[in-house]
Amino acid sequence: MANPKIAILEADIDAARCKGQHHTASTLVKKYQRKYFPDGSALEYLVSGEAAIHIAIAGKKDTATYDSDEADSQKSFALNSIRVSRNSVSEAISLLTQAVAKSNDAPVVQIWIQAHTLLAWIEFLCGTGSVSADALSRLNSLPKIEFEAIPPTAGNYAKIMWIMKKVLLGWGYLDRKDEKSACESFVDASTSVVAMMNKHNLLNISSPDTDPWLIWAEESIYKAALLTLRHGSIENANDLIAQYIKLVENTPTSHSPARKASIIGTHIRMLIKSTLNTPILPFSRIPHPTIRFNASPTLMKEFKIHLSNYEKIVTSLLKFPRAEDQTDLEKLRTDHIVEVYDWWTMFEASTVEDEAKGDQMERHFRLLDVRFFF
């Protein structure tokens, strides 16, 4: 019969990992080893190895230019920019290699899978932004356990690691220009993320930048949405975009602003395209005498909500647009700010069905504010 005290400690370790509290998990696992497994255990090496990775990447921020991602072009998508030296993760590699050996002896299948997944992540962190052919092969050779088949005894963190494995596979395929396989990996992960979202309290994420579930869930849905849109499935892409917006709607503007700019900007363009054949851009061209953006009140409300969020995000990415000596990225971000005012003008000058005169006057005053400010 299993020792209930061991089960309780394992549950505490799992809960700490789920919250991204890897130092706490490492402390607990040392107690676990000292009291119950003096010769070492697969779980001890796994958790300690993962904690060592997070020590190596502490303080490093992902600065990838996701807002330059475009679904309607053939340009490669941005990948996570965090990099470390192999020397800084040598302890992690040693510990995870021991976790693999110990779990092979047990065998503890879920720990074995997680150790290999973390070793593949190290390959990405130490490389030039690619998952090596060996790492990709290793991930593909792992047992094909479906998300729903992960046993409850493996803990909730095993589900996060399953999503992480799918994201790493997607990164590997993108690096090899195999967008079809990458899309399949990201969609697989995002399907499981959406299922988890219905059970996960999104309002209870206190540290979004370090929450493991949010980090890997966000990357999976983000890439799945843009790849799905690029390859022609507009309806599925719309669903994924809606899920992404739901996932991050309670996070601060400073969390993943470039990803948010890419997805919300794409969503607004799709809303406009569903109403107009050709977007009207008053600031970019000669103004039209009449702006016919006739949409339902529901669509207009959605457009306004997303445009307000988009404005906050793009202005946070480029607070002081410069006229000269701009980099290509600064030019793109300046274009996004101009785009915001184009859209506000179109929105405020549009025709709204059954609109009260007072509301109409208020919109026209806001239009004057927009034009004066610009």
The pLDDT assigned to 289 comes to 47
Does position 119 have pLDDT exceeding 90, yes or no?
A: yes
Does position 280 have pLDDT exceeding 60, yes or no?
A: no
Task: Choose the most confident range, by mean pLDDT, from 89-93, 194-198, 199-203.
Answer: 89-93
Instruction: Indicate the helix (H) or strand (E) that contains 91.
Output: helix 90-105
Classify residue 77 by its DSSP letter. P
Q: Is the dihedral of CA 83, 208, 228, 120 positive or negative?
A: positive
pLDDT band for position 181 (cuts 50, 70, 90): very high
φ and ψ at residue 81, rounded to 5 degrees? -100, -5
**219-252: burial string, b at 16+ Cβ within 10 Å, e else:** bbbbbbbbbbbbeeeeeebbbbbebbbebbeebe
For residues 271 and 253, give the distance between their C-alpha atoms in angstroms, rounded to a whole number. 22
Q: Contact 256/248 with Cβ under 8 angstroms?
A: yes
**81-107: burial string, b at 16+ Cβ within 10 Å, e else:** eeeeeeeebebbbebbebbbebbeeee
Does position 276 have pLDDT exceeding 70, yes or no?
A: no
Q: Contact 307/347 with Cβ under 8 angstroms?
A: yes
pLDDT band for position 131 (cuts 50, 70, 90): low
Half-sphere exposure of 122 (CA within 13 A, CB side): 28
Between 89-98, 165-174, 342-351, the lowest mean confidence (pLDDT) is in: 342-351
Average pLDDT over residues 122-134: 76
Between 118-122, 269-273, 345-349, the lowest mean confidence (pLDDT) is in: 345-349
Residue range 220-260, pLDDT digits in tens? 999 999 999 998 788 899 999 999 999 999 899 999 999 99
Does position 298 have pLDDT exceeding 60, yes or no?
A: yes
Residue range 28-76, pLDDT digits in tens? 999 988 888 888 899 999 999 999 999 999 988 888 889 888 887 778 8
Q: Write the single-letter amino acid at 68.
A: S
Which residue, 264, 268, 273, is CA-closest to 317? 264
Does position 114 have pLDDT exceeding 80, yes or no?
A: yes
Does position 110 have pLDDT exceeding 50, yes or no?
A: yes
Does position 132 have pLDDT exceeding 80, yes or no?
A: no
Q: Contact 335/67 with Cβ under 8 angstroms?
A: no
Does position 217 have pLDDT exceeding 90, yes or no?
A: yes
Model pTM?
0.87
For residues 66 and 69, give the distance between their C-alpha atoms in angstroms, rounded to a whole number. 5
More confident residue, 360 or 217: 217
For residues 373 and 60, give the distance between their C-alpha atoms in angstroms, rounded to a whole number. 37
For residues 113 and 103, give the distance between their C-alpha atoms in angstroms, rounded to a whole number. 9
φ and ψ at residue 352, rounded to 5 degrees? -115, 125
More confident residue, 74 or 163: 163
Average pLDDT over residues 166-170: 95
Which residue, 372, 369, 350, is CA-closest to 359? 350
Q: Contact 333/314 with Cβ under 8 angstroms?
A: yes
The pLDDT assigned to 5 comes to 87
Q: Contact 50/17 with Cβ under 8 angstroms?
A: yes
Residue range 2-23, pLDDT digits in tens? 688 888 999 999 999 999 999 9
More confident residue, 116 or 277: 116
Average pLDDT over residues 261-280: 78
pLDDT band for position 346 (cuts 50, 70, 90): confident
More confident residue, 364 or 18: 18
Which residue, 212, 205, 207, is CA-closest to 246? 205
Record the tokens describing residue 258, joined without a space: 């470039």
